[in-house]
Amino acid sequence: MASALASALPAALAAQDSQGPQTDAPPPVAQPVAAPRVPGRMLTVPSGTRLAVVLENGISTRSAKAGDSLYFHTAFPVTQNNQIVIPVGSYLRGSLLESKRPGRIKGKAEFRLRLESLILPNGYTVDLLAAPRSADTGGKETTDSEGKVTGPGGKGKDVGTVATTTVTGAGIGAIAGGGKGAGIGAGIGGLIGLGAVLLTRGPEAELPRGSTMDIEIERDLALDSSYIQFYNTGHAQPITAPPYRQP
């Protein structure tokens, strides 16, 4: 009997120890290993392809500076072999490369921009190299093949300023001193107008929010077909019309 109790005691103590507090961390739980994604075949959107885009944030040489980010969305789908590869509502991000305000005597306002990435509506993101070829700004800005947007000149406005102050000065001079006074007044008015021109910058170059642009892809764009929903046309987004600008 005593020998049976003696042999049972260590087993009971061992059972109590196993139910006590644990000082060792539990063994790690094995995580299921996800199967690697199989890339699809690569599609190429060739350089020279045009995209119709809408500007999400306005640009003005009054405040713009090199490095500012620009945001766009596509307004028309791009197709290849009768399938959509870039749907409506895709996003594009770009940046300003340079921005120059107009001079006080000569020199037009201008800025140059580049588009650098494309994001499809499902989040698929690829690098892009594209530049504008035309823009509907509501003003008289022009674009060139290097992605530079140039503002209108201010010569006509400058001539009008000088002419207006000259006529005003002549009228005041005529009232004050007859014909001779008119000549003196015209000269003074002309000088005042010239001073106003020298102190005033020309018109700024602007792309208001909602401006539509035609951009051209300058380098072949490679797309993974497994990320593309070929029959999804995308969802058109409301376009904010650019504000009315004086001609």
Provide the whole-model pTM: 0.63
Average pLDDT (92-98) is 95
Question: What pLDDT was estimated at residue 106?
Answer: 65
Question: What pLDDT was estimated at residue 15?
Answer: 52
Of 157 and 32, the one with more pLDDT? 32
Rounded Cα–Cα distance for residues 213 and 160 (Å):
32
Average pLDDT (2-17) is 53
Question: What pLDDT was estimated at residue 162?
Answer: 42
pLDDT tier for residue 16 given thresholds of 50, 70 and 90: low
Rounded Cα–Cα distance for residues 170 and 63 (Å):
39
75 phi, psi to nearest 5 deg: -110, 0
- Residue 127's Cβ-side half-sphere holds a number of Cα atoms within 13 Å equal to 2
Q: How many CB atoms are closer than 10 A to CB 13?
A: 10
pLDDT digits (tens, 9 = 90+) for 29-68: 777 766 666 778 899 999 999 999 999 999 999 999 999 9
Question: What pLDDT was estimated at residue 166?
Answer: 46
Question: What pLDDT was estimated at residue 186?
Answer: 47
Rounded Cα–Cα distance for residues 133 and 145 (Å):
6
Rounded Cα–Cα distance for residues 127 and 119 (Å):
9
Q: Apex CA 191: angle with CA 185 and CA 192, to 5°? A: 90
5 phi, psi to nearest 5 deg: -65, -40
pLDDT digits (tens, 9 = 90+) for 187-227: 554 445 445 444 566 889 988 999 999 999 999 999 999 99
Contacts of 7 (CB under 8 A, 6+ apart): none
192 phi, psi to nearest 5 deg: -65, -45
| Residues facing residue 132 across a β-bridge | 215
Contacts of 209 (CB under 8 A, 6+ apart): 55, 56, 57, 58, 240, 242
SS3 181: helix
130 touches 215 (CB < 8 A): yes
Q: What is the mean pLDDT of the chain?
A: 76
pLDDT tier for residue 114 given thresholds of 50, 70 and 90: very high
DSSP, res 70:
E
